[in-house]
Each structure stands twice: as structure tokens, then as C-alpha cells.
Chain A
Amino acid sequence: MNRATLDLWVGIFVAIGLGALLFLALKVGNLSSSNVGETYPLKAEFGNIGGLKIRAAVKSAGVVVGRVSDIKLDPEKYVAVVTMQVDKRYAFSRDTIATINTSGLLGEQYIGFEVGGDSDNLKNGDSIKKTQSAVVLEKLISQFMYSKASEDGSGSKK
């Protein structure tokens, strides 16, 4: 086989190989959507983060506005300090409430922002004062069981 045809076939091979990579990056992966330009960090302290993980979504009104970038334990107050990278296009008022929610009954956990009415906005590196920890299902169930049991106990005494 002469050199020109060889080059042609190898060119085709490399081209469709790179095409496959592009397909994986754009159609299968999230390169096209989630890498939204510039972000700014926000911090929030939670008493309990449940199963929140790094790279979990930060949503406001259900729209993804950022990602969790870091989770640490404050060694003095024993609370979890969550750092989030929030899209620069969105600003949130200073009295925004950050809650840890679960998508669906057993789905992934994410941070939800409920925006308040303050006219000042959170700035780069600010920390969110009002937070609401994750709901731990086991605690909820055990509370329910205890209250049920104590109700039954008091009922039988009478």
C-alpha cells in the first residue's frame, strides 16, 4: 500500500477516535453543561451534614447554582463547615437559609438555598448564618417509635 492511502486511513482512524472522545466529553459527560465559568466561595456551618458529599449540587429553587467543594469538621465547635463554589451570575441575600435536602426518598443529598428578603447580598467567602441540618432518617424513625411507645404506655395505665 502506498504512503498516501496509508496516511488517509490513519487520518480517518485518528479523526474518528478523537470524534469518539468528543462524543464522550459532550454527549455522555457534563463538559457542555456544568462547568459554568466563574464561581465564588460561600461557607456554611451545619450541625449534621448526613450523607452530603463533595461535588454535591447546590440548588436554589431547584436550579443547580453551584457545587460543594470542601467539607471539614470545625475542631472547636464540632460542626461541619461546608464550602461551596457558587456561580458568579447568581447573588443571594445575606439572610439566605441553607438546608440539606434529599432528592427523592433515598436519592442524593444536596444543599438548597432559600433566599430571604435582605437587600445586601452574600459576598465572596461569606458564611451563611442560618442553616438547617440534614434530616437523619433513623433519628426520625426512632423519635416516632418512642413517641408511639410512650403514647401506648400512658394509654394502658389509664
Chain B
Amino acid sequence: MFQLLSGLGSRVTGRIWRLGFASRFLFATLLNSGMALRRFNLTIREIYFSGFLSLIIILVSGLFVGMVLGLQGYDTLQRYGSSEALGVLVALSLVRELGPVVAALLFASRAGSAITAEIGLMKATEQLSAMEMMAVDPIARVIAPRFWAGVVSMPLLAALFSAMGVFGGYLVGVVLIGVDEGSFWSQMQASVDFKEDIVNGVIKSFVFGIIISWIAVFEGYDSEPTAEGVSSATTRTVVTSSLAILAADFILTALMFRGS
């Protein structure tokens, strides 16, 4: 019994200790990001690896998600005789929720895991210590560019996901099923508000970008310098950032769409 309690306690304090370390780490990254912005080609390189190379998966899944929304939405809406509202349904669900959230989940598993594995391996092969020996701050040289690259890429990827999804919904709804094209677009434009829906979606994806990049670089930096440690750190990145995205999504949605 006592062992159970003390085990529980040590796990909780361990978590809190890690959270504190992670916050301190984020602060240090933000402080040392001057170099990532001055030598911007470092960040550009990371945008290429985490942003540009995620394009294919984001575009293809966006298209399919939009097509599924088109099919399912039409199936439900035509029962109530309002299949013209298909555009509204597809656009609102993508711009408000699915775009930022699904793109963030994909980004976490596609790019976040890669960042963690890369940094973890750098640590395991003592590249980070070597940098410190050469008086190069690894946080400024390695961590900050990756962090900012994730923060920059995420909103762009989410916007691409939403745009691709709307196009997929258009393909299925208008081209395949034959919903009236004019009412598809005009009803969409009438109900999607730029400030309420699109800007809030971008803010969401921006926050998700910060969360994913933070967790990914931290888990990499904090991983045990062994093969096993790197693998478990990579797993933790995907699990933690997925959970954090969904929790943050709930909080942001509750703040943004109180249903005025």
C-alpha cells in the first residue's frame, strides 16, 4: 500500500518536474532564437524538412477528408431537403475544426516525431555536447530553428488542408453528386465569416504549431542518449502532442465559439 502511494507520488512529482523543465526549456529557446532569425537559412532548411516534405500527406489527406465530408454531409442533409447547405457544412467543419486539428495530428506524427528522433540521435551521438565544446549553443543552433520552422509551417499546412478539403467537398458534392454549384459557393460565403471562422482557425493552428514544436524539441533534448531512449522519446512526442492538441482544441473552441 505504501509502495503504491509512494510510486504514485513519485510519478506525479516526476511529471511536474518535467513540466517545469519543459517550460524553462521553452523560455530558453525563445531567448536564444535570435540566431534562428538572424541566420534565417538555418530555419529555412528546417521549414523545408518539416513543412515542405509534409505537403504530400497534408494535401492528400485534406482532399480525402473533404470528399468524405461531402459524401456523408450530402447523405444526411438531403434527408432534410437542404443539400444546398453542403458547402456550408464542409467549409465550416474544415475551417473551424478539422483543418487545424487533423493537420496538427498529421504534422505531429510526420514532422514532430522526425524532429525528436533527429535531436535525440544528435544527443546520443554526442553531437550536442560537441557543439557545446566548440562554444556553439545547441539550443540556438539546433533547437530554435526547428522550433520556429514548426511554428511557421503549421498554419500554412492547416490552411492548405482546409483549402484542399473544400476542393474535395466541391468535387464530390458538385461534380459527382450534382449539388447546385452556385448555391454551394454562395451559401458557403454567406455563412463562413472571415474573422469568426477563418482567423480563429489560423489562431488555432498557430497554437498547435507552438505545442507540437515545443513537445518535439523538448522530448528530443530530454531523451535518454540510447537507442531505446530515442525510440521511447519519439513515441512520447506523438502521444503527448496528440493529446495536447485535442485538449488545447477544446479549450480554444470553448473560448472562441461560445455560440453568440
Q: Which residues of A contact B (CB under 8 A)?
A: 1, 3, 6-7, 9-10, 12-14, 16-18, 20-21, 23-25, 27-33, 35, 53-55
Chain B residues whose CB sits within 8 angstroms of the CB of A28 once the complex forms: 91, 95, 162-163, 166, 188-189, 192, 198
CA distance in complex: A153, B92 (Å): 52
List the A residue with the shortest CB-CB distance to B160.
Answer: A20
Nearest CB in chain A: distance from B258 CB, A: 11
Residue of A17, A18, A32, A35 ringed by the most chain B CB atoms within 10 A: A17
Chain A binder among B43-51, B129-137, B211-219: B43-51
Contact among A10, A20, A27 for B159, CB-based, below 8 A: A20
Q: Are B156 and A29 in contact (CB under 8 A)?
A: no
Nearest CB in chain A: distance from B121 CB, A: 20
CA distance in complex: A31, B189 (Å): 9
- 18 A-B Cβ contacts within 8 A? A6-B44, A6-B48, A7-B44, A9-B52, A10-B44, A10-B48, A18-B159, A20-B156, A24-B159, A24-B166, A25-B194, A27-B185, A27-B189, A28-B192, A29-B189, A29-B193, A33-B189, A53-B260
Contact among A10, A24, A35 for B51, CB-based, below 8 A: A10
CA distance in complex: A48, B155 (Å): 43
Interface residues of chain B: helix, strand, loop or mixed (majority): helix
Contact among B163, B166, B194 for A30, CB-based, below 8 A: B194
Nearest CB in chain B: distance from A13 CB, A: 4
CA distance in complex: A17, B160 (Å): 6
Q: Are B194 and A29 in contact (CB under 8 A)?
A: yes
**Binary per-residue interface labels of chain B (36-61) against chain A in the complex, 1 for a CB within 8 Å, 0 otherwise:** 00000100110110011001000000
Residue of B95, B153, B188, B198 ringed by the most chain A CB atoms within 10 A: B198
Q: Are A17 and B198 in contact (CB under 8 A)?
A: no
Q: Are B198 and A29 in contact (CB under 8 A)?
A: yes
Chain A residues whose CB sits within 8 angstroms of the CB of B52 once the complex forms: 9-10, 12-13
**Binary per-residue interface labels of chain B (142-161) against chain A in the complex, 1 for a CB within 8 Å, 0 otherwise:** 00000000000101110110
Chain B residues whose CB sits within 8 angstroms of the CB of A21 once the complex forms: 155-156, 159, 198, 202
Q: Are B194 and A35 in contact (CB under 8 A)?
A: yes
- B190: interface (CB < 8 Å): yes
- B97: interface (CB < 8 Å): no
Nearest CB in chain A: distance from B184 CB, A: 11
- B197: interface (CB < 8 Å): yes
Q: Are B159 and A17 in contact (CB under 8 A)?
A: yes
CA distance in complex: A116, B241 (Å): 61
List the A residue with the shortest CB-CB distance to B156.
Answer: A17
CA distance in complex: A44, B85 (Å): 31
Nearest CB in chain A: distance from B73 CB, A: 15
Chain A residues whose CB sits within 8 angstroms of the CB of B160 once the complex forms: 16-17, 20
CA distance in complex: A9, B54 (Å): 12
Q: Are A30 and B157 in contact (CB under 8 A)?
A: no
Nearest CB in chain A: distance from B59 CB, A: 9
Q: Are A31 and B194 in contact (CB under 8 A)?
A: yes
